[in-house]
Amino acid sequence: MKQSLVLMIIGCVAGVLSGLIGIGGGVILIPSLIFLLGFSQHMAEGTTLAAMVPPIGILAALVYYQNNQVDIKAASLIAAGFLVGGFFGARLAQQFTSDMLQKIFAVMLIALGIKMLWPK
């Protein structure tokens, strides 16, 4: 799969989960960039911040950019996917009860924590 398509899919998944259960950047984007595309931790963090710059991280992203730790193309593609995915995730969230969303959120955090502890 081409890297651009993978980046768009990552952005879309992060957007859906953000709209659905309020997670995305640090919980979805960073591990996805590391495990699916082989980004370093610093490159994943810098790229994620750049993708999310308008709402939250312009100054932090600037520091990473100044240290050559931002992939601008990847950040742009993730942002595009996140925009579309966020819309659909928010619509999907309306179909679940608060209790169910809380359980989905908890399972995602546990699964990602386990993956980060034992990556292989």
Phi/psi-derived region of residue 97, left when phi > 0, alpha when psi is between -120 and 50, beta in every other case? beta
Q: What is the pLDDT of residue 21?
A: 76
Q: What is the pLDDT of residue 71?
A: 93
Domain count of the fold of the chain: 1
Report residue 99 as tokens: 């209790």
Q: What is the pLDDT of residue 56?
A: 61
Burial level of 44, CB count in 10 A (0-12/13-18/19+)? Answer: buried
Sequence-ordered alpha helix ranges (H) in the chain: 3-21, 30-37, 41-51, 58-66, 72-93, 98-117
Q: What is the pLDDT of residue 64?
A: 85
| Range(s) of the domain holding residue 71 | 3-117
Q: What is the pLDDT of residue 3?
A: 92
Q: What is the pLDDT of residue 54?
A: 64
Report residue 32 as tokens: 């996805």
pLDDT per residue, tens digit, the chain (120 aa), is: 699 999 999 888 888 887 777 677 678 888 889 889 999 888 888 888 788 766 566 777 788 899 999 999 998 998 899 889 888 888 888 888 888 887 887 898 898 889 889 887
